[in-house]
Amino acid sequence: MTDEFQSRFPVGTTLSFARYMDIALYDESVGFYATVGRAGRRGDFLTSPEVGPLFGALIARRLDEEWLALGSPETFVVVEFGAGPGTLARSIAFATPECGSALRYLMVERSAEQRALHAEHLDGWMGDLDAAGVDSFVGGHNPGPQFASSPIAPYGITGVVLANELLDNLAFDIVRHDGAGNFERLDVHHAEDGLEFVVAPTEVPLSLAPVLSSAAAGEWMPLQELAVQWLTAAIDRLERGVVIVIDYGATTAEIAARSEMGWLRTFVGQERAGHPLDAPGGCDITADVAVDQLGTAVRPTIITSQQQFLERLGIAQLVEEGRKIWTGKASAPDVAALRARSRIGEAEALLESGGLGDFVVLEWTIGMTEAPEGSPENLR
Ligand SMILES: C[S@@+](CC[C@H](N)C(=O)[O-])C[C@H]1O[C@@H](n2cnc3c(N)ncnc32)[C@H](O)[C@@H]1O
């Protein structure tokens, strides 16, 4: 543990796991995301946008669907939360969506280090904005596509709020119940010889108690209050449109049933890292998103797997198109042909069962729009 981390968490003190995780991931001087951590092939973990441009091309189709469903508004705002290094925005720009002329795409990212990467290779870049800048960006009438980043998100928007692999990274507590309505929490104590978990009695929010109680007594599980608060705020931001959350997720009972808290994971340099108290600030800390905890705020309009979501948006057609381009140019391939060929491998990774294909896609349709035609039925 670094001296700087010790100064934030002195010997003899105790923090909730959520507070500990927030410092370990996001503190401006010692947090993993504020210093070294990031998504990507050369980063610490591979997310769908980082697999290649195919994912962004399909998200661009979903944005077009929503833009059309909203009546093709002149200004169409997309707020991507937890944008990391900005790879998804670049792929969406590259896909030249139909909604482009109306598009105001704001990457809301907590880490200034990551926001500093957003301008790279992005035409229509409008800067890293403060609150006033965000208001004029989303209210502007100049033709898009326009891109910007900020730590602050706007309200009153017509468009899409999007979060890929954000919610699994929002700080959570760790709780269990005894089957008789009593809860305990795992806190983090800074003892003389290092950090250790300690158990303390706790209260849980009344709204979440039934879902938490659906897990087997005695099993530790994540209590994701911040994720629920994020969702409530995301829905409030939209006048009309859709909130789309993509992440690894399961019900609270399913998560709690994983042996030895297998749902609590750490990553660094593409590898699973050690115990979450071993190297604070030196690794990512994450958990499966409890979809039923989110559902206590507002029930999703649709839940699908990432595989179903991408298949509905035409991943097979894009791969086939790529295959034809590659075959036509295989004897003298150019960059476009190589990119077309790479769709085959990208699709395999994005649809893989037991991997990204099993991620959940949750959508909350707000205001006047309807769920897009052909959407599968709610699965849960
Ligand atoms: C796992 S990374 C995902 C990056 C990207 N969405 C992707 O799929 O490659 C999560 C990102 O969310 C950011 N983040 C965490 N909490 C946030 C918050 N409250 N608002 C905005 N960004 C946040 C982190 O700094 C990190 O860059």
Q: How many CA atoms lie within 13 A of 347 on its CB side?
A: 22
Q: Is the CB of 83 under 6 A from ligand 1?
A: yes
Question: Are 210 and 236 members of one domain?
Answer: no
Question: Are 135 and 8 members of one domain?
Answer: no
Q: Is the CB of 84 under 6 A from ligand 1?
A: yes
* Pairing of β 183-191 and β 173-177: antiparallel
The pTM assigned to this predicted structure is 0.94
- Nearest protein CA to atom 15 of ligand 1, as residue: 82
Question: Are 234 and 102 members of one domain?
Answer: yes
Q: Which of 101, 116, 98 is nearest to 146 (CA)?
A: 101
Q: Is the CB of 49 under 6 A from ligand 1?
A: yes
Q: Which of 189, 204, 221 is at the close of a domain?
A: 221
pLDDT at 210 over 90: yes
Residue 282 lies in a domain: yes
Q: Is the CB of 365 under 6 A from ligand 1?
A: no
Question: Are 330 and 285 members of one domain?
Answer: no
Q: Is the CB of 306 under 6 A from ligand 1?
A: no
Q: CA-to-CA distance for 45 and 39, rounded, in angstroms?
A: 5
Q: Which atom of ligand 1 is nearest to the CA of 33?
A: 25
pLDDT in tens, 175-209: 999 999 999 999 999 999 899 999 999 999 999 99
> Tokens at residue 347, please?
């699709």
Categorize the per-residue pLDDT at 40 as very low, low, confident or very high, splitting at 50, 70 and 90: low
pLDDT in tens, 230-264: 999 999 999 999 999 999 999 999 999 998 899 99
Question: Are 80 and 201 members of one domain?
Answer: no
Question: Are 76 and 210 members of one domain?
Answer: no
Diameter of the chain by CA atoms?
A: 70
Question: Are 82 and 99 members of one domain?
Answer: yes
The chain-wide mean pLDDT, for the chain, equals 91
- Which residue range is the domain that position 326 belongs to? 316-349
- What is the separation of C-alpha 170 from the centre of its chain, rounded to a whole number of angstroms? 9
Best probe residue, ligand 1, of 109, 115, 267, 284 (max atoms within 8 Å of C-beta): 109
Give the chain's domain count.
3
pLDDT of the residue at 140: 82
pLDDT of the residue at 315: 97
Question: Are 166 and 176 members of one domain?
Answer: no
Question: Are 131 and 24 members of one domain?
Answer: no
pLDDT in tens, 267-286: 887 678 789 999 888 899 99
Q: Is the CB of 50 under 6 A from ligand 1?
A: yes
Question: Are 129 and 209 members of one domain?
Answer: no
Average pLDDT over residues 48-54: 95
Question: Are 233 and 200 members of one domain?
Answer: no
Q: CA-to-CA distance for 317 and 130, rounded, in angstroms?
A: 41
Contact yes or no for 359/350 (Cβ under 8 A) = no
pLDDT of the residue at 373: 52
